Amino acid sequence: MSRVILQPTGNKDAREHYVDTLLAPVRISRIKPFVTQAEFDHLSEIYPNGEVPTWGVTTGVKM
């Protein structure tokens, strides 16, 4: 199973947030409310130190 996700960045702010995320992973407990138990268990196996590089997005303006 691959452990790489490619996410395009659409503007300067998005690229900066991408770099911030790589430098400051999120505690897995913060992600738990947003994933299934199976997904949480899988993330726990992949990231045993409990820190997951995570990048959240919000709805943007549609052109």
* Average pLDDT over every residue of 4-17: 69
CB atoms within 10 A of CB 28: 19
Confidence of residue 13 (pLDDT cuts 50, 70, 90): confident
The pLDDT score that the predictor gives to residue 25 is: 86
User: What's the pLDDT tens digit per position in 43-60?
Assistant: 999 999 999 888 766 666
Please spell the DSSP secondary structure of 6-29, one letter per residue: -----SHHHHHHHHHHHHSPEEHH
Query: Can you tell me which residue has the tokens 């919000």?
Result: 58
Q: Where are the domains of the chain?
A: 12-52
Higher pLDDT, 13 or 29: 29
Residue 28 structure tokens: 């897995």
